[in-house]
């Protein structure tokens, strides 16, 4: 993950080197050569994904002229957007994400849980089932895709109720815990303490908050929303629709995978999305 960027672009190489120095261990080695059982651990996956995302952005920015109107990122991706917009430096943002991952891992050990994607069932029905089953809506990603989160037995009950109510499928996610749920509430206090100690500046480019689905400009509000994000729903579909309402017609997705491009096909298939993950994605645009 990210190795071709490291080898092809000095800007990407510099990001990986800065990440290794900041973290005090080789996150680049984990990205390039890490075993699946290691990279899937939250404490490694979050800083790894952030590093690859920023490495891809820096390589792209050095070769393609771009003046974004807004920035946004789903869950962890919001931190990447805040770094690029100048709210956090890369080093401070990376340290913050590393601590966020540790806090989430600790919460998972204390309050085990799981997440599942509910496909082709209305949000209102899913929300009602969550209330009945003791689970939480974690992500409102796109029409026909809502993520639920909570204790394992509660999510299993919710899955059965969703299927009975007409959901096409309910798929368990490969994550280590019940993120964006009330099981993370206790952990949010620790994240708040870390955020208060992290230097921050006003964004140069507006960043859409996962929690509110509109841009925030005050540092205090941005940090507060990041705390809420840990245990409240991610309003991704609403975030995209806000940007569309402001006249945005094309998007660039940075980082591993093309998940956001896939979600956009469900939200508005007419919108252009360019995914930047590998060396070839940048070279083909030059």
The segment(s) of the chain belonging to CATH 3.30.70.250 are: 117-172
Q: What is the pLDDT of residue 140?
A: 98
**Structural tokens at position 62:** 């050095």
The segment(s) of the chain belonging to CATH 3.40.366.10 are: 3-109+182-247
Residues recorded for the chain: 286
- CATH architecture of the domain with residue range 117-172: 2-Layer Sandwich (3.30)
Query: pTM to 2 decimals?
Result: 0.95
CB–CB of 255/56 below 8 Å?
yes
Backbone torsions φ then ψ of 20, nearest 5 degrees: -60, -45
Backbone torsions φ then ψ of 224, nearest 5 degrees: -60, -40
Q: Is 37 exposed, middle or buried (0-12, 13-18, 19+ CB in 10 A)?
A: exposed
Is 180 an active-site residue? yes
Q: What is the pLDDT of residue 38?
A: 84
pLDDT in tens, the chain (286 residues): 999 999 999 999 999 999 999 999 999 999 998 778 788 889 999 999 999 999 999 999 999 988 899 999 999 999 999 999 999 999 999 999 999 999 999 999 999 999 999 999 999 999 999 999 999 999 999 999 999 999 999 999 999 999 999 999 999 998 989 999 999 999 999 999 999 999 999 999 999 999 999 999 999 999 999 999 999 999 999 999 999 999 999 999 999 999 999 999 999 999 999 999 999 999 998 6
Q: Which of 133, 180, 209, 275 does the annotation list as catalytic?
A: 180
Is 69 an active-site residue? no
Q: What is the pLDDT of residue 285?
A: 86
Q: Which of 75, 122, 165, 182 does the annotation list as catalytic?
A: 75
Of the candidates 158, 139, 151, which has an alpha carbon nearest to the alpha carbon of residue 107? 151
Q: What is the pLDDT of residue 105?
A: 95
CATH number of the 3-109+182-247 domain? 3.40.366.10
User: Could you please report the per-residue DSSP string of 118-175?
Assistant: EESS-HHHHHHHHHHHT-EEEEEEETTEEEEEE-HHHHHHHHHHHHHTT-SEEEE-S-
């Amino acid at each position: 993950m990210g190795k071709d960027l490291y080898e092809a672009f000095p800007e990407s190489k510099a990001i990986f080197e800065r990440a290794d120095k900041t973290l005090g261990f080789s996150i680049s080695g984990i990205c390039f050569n890490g075993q699946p059982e290691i990279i899937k651990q939250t404490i490694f996956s979050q800083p790894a994904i952030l590093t690859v995302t920023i490495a891809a952005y820096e390589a792209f920015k050095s070769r393609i002229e771009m003046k974004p109107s807004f920035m946004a990122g789903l869950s962890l991706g919001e931190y990447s957007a805040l770094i690029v917009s100048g709210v956090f430096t890369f080093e401070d943002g990376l340290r913050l994400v590393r601590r966020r991952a540790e806090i989430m891992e600790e919460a998972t050990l204390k309050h085990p849980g799981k997440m599942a994607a509910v496909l082709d069932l209305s949000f209102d029905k899913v929300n009602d089932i969550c209330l009945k089953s003791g689970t939480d809506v974690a992500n409102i990603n796109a029409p026909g895709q809502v993520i639920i989160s909570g204790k394992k037995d509660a999510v299993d009950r919710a899955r059965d109720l969703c299927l009975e109510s007409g959901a096409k499928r309910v798929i368990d996610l490969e994550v280590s815990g019940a993120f964006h749920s009330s099981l993370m509430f206790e952990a949010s206090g620790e994240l708040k303490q870390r955020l208060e100690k992290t230097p921050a500046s006003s964004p140069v480019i507006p960043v859409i908050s996962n929690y509110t689905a509109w841009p925030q400009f005050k540092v205090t509000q941005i940090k507060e929303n990041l705390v809420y994000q840990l245990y409240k729903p991610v309003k991704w579909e609403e975030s995209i629709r806000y940007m569309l309402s402001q006249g945005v017609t094309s998007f660039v997705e940075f980082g591993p995978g093309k998940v956001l491009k896939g979600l956009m096909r469900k939200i508005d298939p007419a919108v252009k999305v360019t995914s930047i993950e590998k060396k070839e994605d940048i070279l083909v645009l030059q």
